[in-house]
Amino acid sequence: MTVATALTAVRPLPGDPAGSVLGREPGAAESAETYLRSGGYGEAASPGRLLEAVDRSGLRGRGGAGFPAAVKLRSVRDRGGVPVVVANGEEGEPGSVKDRWLLRARPHLVLDGLSRAAEITGAGQGCVYLSDPYAATQVRRALREHPPRIPVEVIETAHTYVAGEETSVVRRINGGPALPAAKPPRPYERGVAGQPTLVANVETLARIALIAAHPDLSDAIARTTLLTLSSWRDAPVLLEAPYGVPLRDLAAGQGSGDAYGALMGGLFGGLVGSGALDLALDPVELAAAGTSLGCGAVRFLAPGGCPVAVAHDAVDHLAAESARQCGVCVSGTAALRDTLRQLATGAAGPDAATRLDRWAGGLPGRGACGLLDAAAGTAGSLLRAFPDAVRDHLAAACPVCAGCPSTGGHRLVVPVPDVAGIRPDPAPVH
């Protein structure tokens, strides 16, 4: 099995892009002048009415958990104090590129949404949190072009899987390591500098800005989402799609119309078989089917690949990215990885499936963050979605898996689409 190395393509929505996060020219960085001409940074409804519009639209967070955006905004607003709002652009999932692309290409849209969130919550300070130097350059440039109403600081961090978890974000901004912290308190209770803190994904904030500028399109804005679609064989695609589209249609649009399943939600939605491709792109429907849209990253399983190899690659990546704060995470992810590696190479004992099943049921919820849950969930979903493949691997070595190196997390990485005219600052992360 090889790796698709083609650059990621960007496909905008057809028709009027007024309510689109991808915008009119997704291949170019948007200037303040262009954004202002499109209605950005304009007068909008009062903060209270904007919050009502966000609530009515049903907008969910786009960072992975899909939590209602209006509930988070109200929780921070009603906590008192002087809140802080954070645009979280630290994209830890290897198969997702939407947040880095958004900060590189449309930083003004994100900063507009950050300002709207600050007005709703009464915040006195904002932060943009990221690890991508190209994105940092663009955000700083955008802040110079159109200074915000509140002080906004760009905070850079090292890129890791757990660095974008909300308590990791708060610890890093407060001067500590970007590692998950014990909960409670949660950031909305006590976060940056001890103040109630909204940690919002950058796409979530972008959609709040679009709702402010186009209230008549609120429902469509809330029910459209950015997706990173990939497979081992076909070039990846970043696109914007409305809820309700069958996953099978998305697979065909990406080039994987013959897909027999998918790895859903980055590394958090698990593996699903062919029947799940008839499900609609909808958080509620996917959750009812036992999977998740997560961060909007979907890796289709194309013929010629192997679901066991994909499960191994995912857990291998997670084991390598463990924060190593929880002993159960270190030992649990290593055990899952090693057993999946043995399964992939034909070296597993007859009890391998039994052990994977036991760990898949017993490990979730025991770590400080969701990394261990993702690893256990991936193993469990392999057993549920592809039991025949597991049995075949127990009986004999798999020729597809035999052609894969033993460490394979890098095979899940998708390149960020090119954005014309940007150069990274040489300043180091500090």
Q: Looking at the predicted structure, is the pLDDT value of residue 64 above 90? A: no
Predicted local confidence at residue 323, as pLDDT:
86
Tell me phi and psi for residue 364, to 5 degrees: -55, 140
Higher-confidence residue: 16 or 221?
221
Contacts for 249 with CB less than 8 Å, ≥ 6 apart: none
The pair of three-digit structure tokens given for residue 176, joined into one six-digit string: 């500590």
Task: Answer whether 381's CB lies under 8 Å from 389's CB.
Answer: no
Predicted local confidence at residue 387, as pLDDT:
96
Predicted local confidence at residue 27, as pLDDT:
85
Q: Tens of pLDDT along 261-282?
A: 999 998 889 999 999 999 999 9
The CA distance from 138 to 390, in Å, is: 46
Predicted local confidence at residue 3, as pLDDT:
42
Q: How confident is the model at residue 6 (pLDDT cuts 50, 70, 90)?
A: low
Q: Looking at the predicted structure, is the pLDDT value of residue 409 above 70? A: no
Higher-confidence residue: 238 or 45?
238
Predicted local confidence at residue 11, as pLDDT:
77
Q: Looking at the predicted structure, is the pLDDT value of residue 87 above 60? A: yes
- Averaged pLDDT of the chain: 91
- Percent of the chain clearing pLDDT 90 (strictly above): 76
Tell me phi and psi for residue 104, to 5 degrees: -75, -40
Q: Looking at the predicted structure, is the pLDDT value of residue 17 above 80? A: no
Q: Looking at the predicted structure, is the pLDDT value of residue 411 above 50? A: yes
Average pLDDT score over residue span 358-364: 93
Predicted local confidence at residue 223, as pLDDT:
95
Predicted local confidence at residue 370, as pLDDT:
87
- Enumerate domains of the chain plus CATH numbers: 28-220 (3.40.50.11540), 223-300 (3.10.20.600), 307-412 (1.20.1440.230)
Q: Tens of pLDDT along 226-236?
A: 999 999 898 99
Q: Which of 85-94, 158-167, 319-328, 385-394 has the lowest mean pLDDT?
A: 319-328
Contacts for 137 with CB less than 8 Å, ≥ 6 apart: 422, 423, 424, 425
One DSSP character per residue, 290-315 reads T---TTSEEEE--TTS-HHHHHHHHH
Average pLDDT score over residue span 108-130: 97
Higher-confidence residue: 8 or 105?
105
The pair of three-digit structure tokens given for residue 203, joined into one six-digit string: 């796409």
Residue 84 bridge partners (DSSP) = 125, 197
The CA distances from residue 346 to 17, 284, 352, 390, 422, in Å, are 51, 38, 11, 10, 47
Q: Looking at the predicted structure, is the pLDDT value of residue 36 above 80? A: yes
